[in-house]
Structure 1
């Protein structure tokens, strides 16, 4: 079963090494896309593992210019110390920010399960006062996200809007696809009305079409963000229309938990993977 899943997962995972990720990123950049690189792994408690993760992210950022890539990194707080303490995680993010400053790289802070939402936002608010090229993910499936979004926009936060991939209880999250989609559209409208420099991270045709329509009404700096290997038939269409687009490129050996979440996140993802894998034409969008 694991071999079968890996055969599917390798469509969006660049490989095991930094060079695999940068090579994939170089290909994305040649095709007119920005690059967001994520080292797979989460919930680290080992000092060596945390230090190695930080070191690899630094190497990625230092290598962007050499590989001629316009790139960013995306970091999970539990990768770099949040499981030990918020203080340690903040200190480790500060080390990454120092490296990002030298290379002028953008840093995205990933959002994980709702158990970590408060601490993740607190870390982001602390760091944003010192480094502007910093963004945070907001999950449309969480009931609290509209309030979080308003608070973050009030301090100039840069947002990546995602649907959310973690299994949550009904007291903290919308459970139906319809309600998650409705909230995604509501939060996206708020971003276009009140935000700037944000990412619309989705493969959902309806969400993309709505973003295109909102972009005609509001002149905002934003980009679409999609996983490597998914909706490849649509990406050049959006770029040709003048939209910015970045590919999210995961790499590393710890691919199994991430891949299972991607497939469980929405049944639609399985269909999109199959469509992309077979290189079939997607249903036309209103763009």
Structure 2
């Protein structure tokens, strides 16, 4: 089963190494797209492993600057210390931000499961006060997200809107595709009315079409964000229409848990992947 899943996963995972990720970022750059690089891994408690992860992000940012690739990084808080303490995570984020300032690189903070939402938002506020080229992901499957979004926008936050990939309790999360989609649309409308700089992270044609329509009424600085290897036929069409498109590029050996979440996140992802494997037809 693992071998089969790896055959699928390599469509959206760059490879094991930093160089694999940078190669994918360069391909995106040559095709007029930006890139967002994420080192796979989460819930690290070993300080040796955490320090190694921080250093890898520093290397990525330096390489993006030297190669003049339009790119960003995306960091999971639990991979740099949140599983130990908020203080440990914040300390390591500060190290990453110092390197980001030197390399002029945008940094995204990934959202994780709901048990960490409050701490991650608090970390974002602390860091955003020091570095404005910083964004945070919010998840449309959580019922609390509209309130979080309104608070974040009041502070001028930069937002990545995702549907959400973590298994959550029905008390705090929407459980059906219809409810999640409805909330995603409503949150997107808020972003186009009140947002400053944001990413629409989706492969869903209906959401992409809605974003295009909203962008005609409300001119905002935003970009479409899609996994490497997914919707590769659509991406150049969007670029041709003058939209900014970023490839989200995961890399590393910890690909299994990530890939299982991607497949489980929505049944539609399986269809999207199948179509992408045969030239990325519109679904």
| Class of the TM-score when normalised by the shorter of the 2 chains | over 0.9
Residues 65, 104 of structure 2: 8 Å contact kept: no
Residues 26, 68 of structure 1: 8 Å contact kept: no
Question: Partner residue of 1:170?
Answer: 170
Residues 165, 261 of structure 2: 8 Å contact kept: yes
Q: Distance in 2 between matches of 1:235 and 1:280?
A: 10
Question: Partner residue of 1:112?
Answer: 112
The DSSP-based 3-state class of the residue aligned with 1:66 is helix
The DSSP-based 3-state class of the residue aligned with 1:143 is coil
Residues 141, 173 of structure 1: 8 Å contact kept: yes
- Report how far residue 67 of structure 1 moved: 2.6
Q: TM-score normalized by structure 1?
A: 0.98
| Cα distance per residue 1:98-136 (max 9 Å; x no partner) | 000000000000000000000000000011010000000
Matched, 1:139 2:139: yes
Matched, 1:16 2:16: yes
The DSSP-based 3-state class of the residue aligned with 1:69 is coil
Question: Partner residue of 2:128?
Answer: 128
The DSSP-based 3-state class of the residue aligned with 2:67 is coil
Q: Distance in 2 between matches of 1:68 and 1:252?
A: 23
Q: How many residues align?
A: 283
Q: How does 1:131-280 map to 2 (within 5 A)?
A: 131-279=131-279
- Report how far residue 279 of structure 1 moved: 1.0
The DSSP-based 3-state class of the residue aligned with 1:65 is helix
Q: TM-score normalized by structure 2?
A: 0.99
Q: How does 1:17-166 map to 2 (within 5 A)?
A: 17-166=17-166
Which segments of structure 1 move beyond 4 Å, counting only runs of 4 or more? none
| Cα distance per residue 1:76-112 (max 9 Å; x no partner) | 0000000000011001100000000000000000000
Consecutive unaligned residues of structure 2, counting only runs of 5 or more, are none
Consecutive unaligned residues of structure 1, counting only runs of 5 or more, are none
The DSSP-based 3-state class of the residue aligned with 1:261 is helix
Residues 28, 34 of structure 1: 8 Å contact kept: yes
